[in-house]
Amino acid sequence: MFFKPGTHKDHGFRHDPFKAVISPRPIGWISTLDEHGTPNLAPYSFFNAVCADPPVVMFGSGGRTDGTKKDSQLNAEASGEFVCSIVSHAQRDHMNKTSVHLPHGENEMPPAGLEGLASKMVKPLRVKGAPVHLECKYLQSVQMPCWHESRENWVIFGEVIGIHIDESCVVDGMVDVLKYTPVARLGYMDYSEVTELFAMDRPD
């Protein structure tokens, strides 16, 4: 089967399969502070690491249909900082609740039953109970094409300047992903959890 993006319905797909084929995707749980210091938290599954020396992460933000940017992007750009917490299986429902569209300046943590923890290098809070937190210094935003005139697509990059790892996830000096259990986003409303792994040595 071959089709051009946007024509999936002509090929029998009920929904655009793009996100289902780019899966699993890690979820960056992005916390920021607004201009008054109010915390903001939202999950982003257009999220990944892009290089390691120094470590840099990105999240992709599709703007709102009224043309405004989402709060995570606005706050990261204005404050120059964000924290990325990693969602464990135990916090999957809390994560989902924080995707609610609250007005700018409203904190998603309390209604989702979450508490913030102070960070070490930046001001935005970490999510208490998350196994890993990446404290990030905002680097730049890059605008992507967008099919819709009233919306914008952006990628926001940040350099990781501090890393917290829950010690229960570390075994013999290595992160044990089976203890860490990061939740991944699949297509549609589906998610996955890492429950088994295999290793392969590189040829050279």
| Distance (Å, whole) CA 124 – CA 115 | 12
Residues 55 to 74: which contact ligand FMN by CB under 6 A? 60-62, 70-72
| Distance (Å, whole) CA 11 – CA 124 | 45
Which amino acid is residue 162, in one-letter code?
G
Contacting range for ligand FMN; rule: CB under 6 A; set: 1-9, 96-104, 124-132, 173-181: 96-104
Residues 8 to 37: which contact ligand FMN by CB under 6 A? 27
CA 44 to chain centre: 3
Binding mask 100-129 for ligand FMN (x = CB under 6 A): -x----------------------------
Nearer to ligand FMN, 47 or 180 (CB): 47
Q: Does 141 sit near ligand FMN (CB under 6 A)?
A: no
Which amino acid is residue 8, in one-letter code?
H
* DSSP element (H, E) containing 84: strand 81-86
Q: Does 85 sit near ligand FMN (CB under 6 A)?
A: no
Asked if 192 and 183 touch (Cβ cutoff 8 Å), the reply is yes
Residue from 96, 139, 159, 165 in contact with ligand FMN (CB under 6 A): 96
Q: Which of 35, 47, 53 shows the shortest CA–CA distance to 184?
A: 47
Residues that bind ligand FMN (CB under 6 A): 27, 40, 42-46, 60-62, 70-72, 96, 99, 101, 185
